[in-house]
């Protein structure tokens, strides 16, 4: 069945627009697959379906199955392993859904494509804070959730090297990964230095950090010690 040019334009335009809508949310959160990637995935899926509409000897369902297979390889490219955590699963799942949106738009199922795009955006926007609360509720020292901590020690300038060494020694006994350690002079005060450590660990290690704070606060020249847990960025 040969389609009119305006029908082709409408189907491709619908796929491009809906894919770009989903991609905007990913781009806003600085994910690897953003606005252009999702728009191109949806557009490509629609074009493949349109090709099957012009070829009488090719089944549209067969083309759609090949599109899903191809998008699976594309989604695998954005999945990364970071220690015990796997990142990029949400982005890969979004790409997979965007491919389905493109297939629906290419097949002329505009309502289904629009509902699919709205559902994907709702899952990424609405379910994100809910999943955060669930993670915080079930996290423990033995869980596999990755938690980030920021530990800050203010000490006298001459104690900086000692505090840095003591900080590394104190944290080496726990299941912490030191991502960064840097020092900077406090503005307007040339006598004190802020030593800041960026840490990650599996589960929650609040008790170990409290012990580290107690140990560091007893050091002469240390004026303040504090730590805070940071929300890990979603995949």
The yes-or-no verdict on residue 234 having pLDDT over 50 is no
Contact predicate 43/74, CB 8 Å: no
pTM: 0.58
Residue 76 structure tokens: 């695998």
**DSSP per-residue string spanning 70-81:** HHHHHHHTT-EE
Check residues 31 and 8 and name the one with the higher pLDDT: 8
Q: Domains of the chain, with CATH numbers?
A: 5-138 (no CATH), 146-230 (3.30.70.260)
Burial of 33 (0-12, 13-18, 19+ CB in 10 A): buried
CA angle, residues 184, 188, 189, in degrees to nearest 5: 65
Q: Per-residue pLDDT averaged across 169-188, rounded?
A: 77
Q: Which of 23-32, 96-105, 153-162, 166-175 has the highest mean pLDDT?
A: 96-105
CA distance 134 to 64: 36
Contact predicate 20/113, CB 8 Å: no
Residue 201 structure tokens: 């660990």
Q: Helix, strand or coil for residue 140?
A: coil
Give me the chain's average pLDDT, please.
80
**DSSP per-residue string spanning 31-47:** -SS-HHHHHHHHHHHHH
pLDDT digits (tens, 9 = 90+) for 85-110: 556 788 888 998 999 999 999 888 99
| DSSP-derived secondary structure letter, 219 | S
The yes-or-no verdict on residue 198 having pLDDT over 50 is yes
The yes-or-no verdict on residue 159 having pLDDT over 80 is yes
């Amino acid at each position: 069945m040969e389609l009119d040019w305006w029908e082709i334009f409408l189907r491709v335009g619908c796929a491009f627009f809906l894919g770009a809508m989903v991609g905007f949310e990913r781009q806003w959160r600085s994910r690897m697959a953003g606005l252009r990637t999702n728009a191109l995935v949806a557009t490509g899926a629609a074009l493949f379906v349109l090709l099957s509409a012009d070829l009488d000897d090719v089944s549209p369902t067969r083309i759609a199955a090949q599109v899903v297979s191809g998008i699976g390889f594309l989604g695998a490219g954005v999945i990364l392993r970071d220690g015990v955590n796997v990142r990029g699963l949400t982005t890969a799942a979004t790409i997979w859904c965007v491919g389905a949106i493109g297939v629906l738009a290419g097949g002329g199922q505009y309502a289904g494509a629009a509902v699919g795009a709205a559902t994907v955006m709702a899952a990424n926007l609405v379910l994100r804070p809910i999943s955060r609360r669930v993670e915080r509720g079930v996290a423990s020292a033995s869980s596999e959730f990755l938690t980030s901590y920021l530990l800050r020690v203010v000490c006298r300038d001459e104690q900086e090297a000692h505090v840095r060494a003591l900080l590394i020694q104190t944290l080496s006994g726990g299941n912490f990964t030191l991502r960064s350690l840097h020092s900077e002079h406090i503005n307007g005060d040339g006598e004190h230095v802020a030593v800041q450590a960026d840490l990650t660990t599996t589960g929650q290690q609040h008790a170990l950090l409290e012990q580290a704070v107690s140990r560091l606060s007893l050091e002469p020249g240390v004026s303040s010690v504090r730590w805070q847990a940071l929300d890990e960025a979603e995949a």
